[in-house]
């Protein structure tokens, strides 16, 4: 399926920012993508757009058109998220620990995942900044907060699980994002994060033509750099998976099947999933960079 992306608007404002992973201020242009570009931090290698669009303008991109995209792909996205949960050992984890929430899905879109989880007995809630998508989820009886995570002011240690699929790459400040997730999780709670993997075969070979090198992806992680961020913010990684060897339609179906299996086994898939456990109370003096 085609990745949704909006075109940068003329009135959007941006600014140069330090690297959110290491705090460095030296960058080298990495991928030129027409009206925007990705740069590489010379300190830690993180790939990001810099100058960076202001959060207000970034949030305004998720409008009715975005909602239509989510509605059109609702079943496909739910299927992929179920596979991600399966790879994380979710079914076994449910049985062994008998955990049934509360759970927060950040970037819940039209609410298909939290609806499915609710049917399994979870106390599932969502958070979504697209008003139209949030309204669709609520119309189906789902509890959804219509605010960015940093403005939602949810209660500390309120959730046993937080799920975030293809969200962190859209966030201006991923460190603050992860820190807030840490605050919201109960001690020993789990954070399941899915995002494009810059160390994937497709990312390394295709560069600026990679399907994840789009305007709406502000910061892109490799599995190693995402792991580093989570560990710096009080998490322990307990599972890591990648998948996606080639986009559908880019190669013959039998070749894609072979590439997808190899990518999953070898860890060089297009998408990475990290399952992390909250293990430490966070002292801001020790997590700063």
User: What CATH code is assigned to 53-287?
Assistant: 3.40.50.150
Range in 19-28, 37-46, 86-95 with the lowest mean pLDDT: 86-95
* Domain ranges within the chain, ordered by starting residue: 53-287
- Please say if the pLDDT value at position 288 is more than 60: no
pLDDT digits (tens, 9 = 90+) for 116-128: 999 988 999 999 9
Give the pLDDT score at 217. Answer: 97
Mean pLDDT of 101-126: 94
pLDDT at 249 over 90: no
d(CA 225, CA 123): 31
Instruction: Tell me the pLDDT band of 285, cut-offs 50, 70 and 90.
Output: very low
- The 3-class secondary structure across 212-274, one letter per residue, is CCCCCCCEEECHHHHHHHHHHCCEEEEEEEEECCCCCCCCCHHHHHHHHHHHHHHCCCCEEEE
Residue range 185-203: average pLDDT? Answer: 95
283: left (phi over 0), alpha (psi -120 to 50) or beta: beta
Distance CA 271, CA 159 (A): 25
Whole-number Å distance between alpha carbons of 2 and 239: 28
**Helix, strand, coil percent values for the chain (each to nearest 5):** 40, 25, 40
User: Residue 215: pLDDT above 70?
Assistant: yes
| DSSP annotation of 210 | S
Q: Among the residues of the chain, which ranges form H helices?
A: 55-60, 64-72, 74-87, 90-97, 112-119, 131-139, 149-152, 174-184, 201-206, 223-232, 253-266, 284-287
pLDDT exceeds 50 at position 261: yes
pLDDT (tens digit per residue) in 227-240: 999 999 999 999 99
For residue 9, pLDDT beyond 80: no
Per-residue pLDDT of 135-167, as tens digits, reads: 999 999 999 999 999 999 999 999 999 999 999
pLDDT higher than threshold 50 for residue 55:
yes
Residue 216 has pLDDT above 60, yes or no: yes
* Contact (Cβ atoms closer than 8 angstroms) between residue 64 and residue 81: no
- Quick one: pLDDT at residue 10? 76
**210 Cβ neighbours under 8 A, 6+ residues apart:** 31, 202, 203
Q: Which residues contact 24 (CB under 8 A, 6 or more apart)?
A: 18, 41, 42, 43, 44
Percent of the chain with pLDDT over 70: 95
By CB neighbour count within 10 A (0-12 exposed, 13-18 middle, 19+ buried), where does 173 fall? middle
Model confidence at 98, pLDDT cuts 50, 70, 90, reads: low
Name the pLDDT band for 280 (thresholds 50, 70, 90): confident
Taking residues 28-45, report their average pLDDT: 95
Range of weakest confidence among 15-24, 75-84, 128-137, 245-254: 245-254
What span, in angstroms and rounded, lies between the C-alpha atoms of 162 and 113?
12
Q: The sheet that has 159-165: what strands, in order across it?
A: 144-145, 124-127, 103-106, 159-165, 185-196, 271-278, 235-243
Taking the C-alpha atoms of residue 8 and residue 61, their distance in angstroms, rounded to an integer, is 9
Query: How does the average pLDDT of the chain come out, rounded?
Result: 91
Position with higher pLDDT, 205 vs 286: 205
């Amino acid at each position: 399926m085609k990745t949704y992306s909006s075109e940068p608007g003329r009135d959007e404002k941006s600014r140069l920012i330090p690297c959110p992973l290491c705090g460095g201020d030296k960058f080298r242009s990495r991928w030129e993508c027409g009206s925007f570009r990705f740069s590489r931090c010379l300190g830690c290698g993180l790939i990001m757009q810099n100058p960076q669009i202001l959060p207000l303008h970034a949030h305004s991109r998720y409008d009715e058109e975005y909602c239509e995209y989510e509605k059109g792909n609702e079943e496909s996205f739910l299927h992929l998220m179920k596979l991600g949960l399966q790879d994380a050992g979710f079914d076994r984890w449910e049985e062994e620990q008998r955990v049934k929430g509360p759970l927060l899905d950040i970037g819940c879109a039209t609410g298909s995942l939290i609806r499915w989880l609710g049917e399994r007995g979870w106390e599932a809630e969502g958070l979504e900044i697209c008003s139209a998508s949030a309204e669709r989820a609520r119309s189906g009886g789902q509890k959804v907060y219509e605010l960015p995570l940093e403005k939602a002011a949810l209660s500390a240690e309120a959730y046993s699980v937080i799920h975030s699929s293809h969200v962190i790459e859209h966030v201006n400040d991923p460190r603050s994002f992860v820190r807030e997730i840490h605050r919201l999780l109960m001690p020993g709670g789990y954070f399941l994060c899915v995002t494009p993997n810059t160390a994937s075969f497709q990312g390394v070979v295709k560069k600026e033509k990679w399907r994840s090198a789009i305007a709406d992806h502000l910061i892109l992680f490799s599995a190693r750099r995402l792991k580093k961020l989570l560990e710096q913010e009080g998490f322990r990684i307990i599972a890591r998976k990648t998948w996606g060897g080639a986009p559908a339609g880019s190669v013959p179906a039998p070749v894609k099947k072979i590439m997808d299996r190899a990518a999953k086994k070898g860890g060089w898939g297009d998408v990475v999933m990290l399952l992390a456990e909250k293990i430490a109370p966070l002292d801001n003096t020790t997590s700063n960079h």
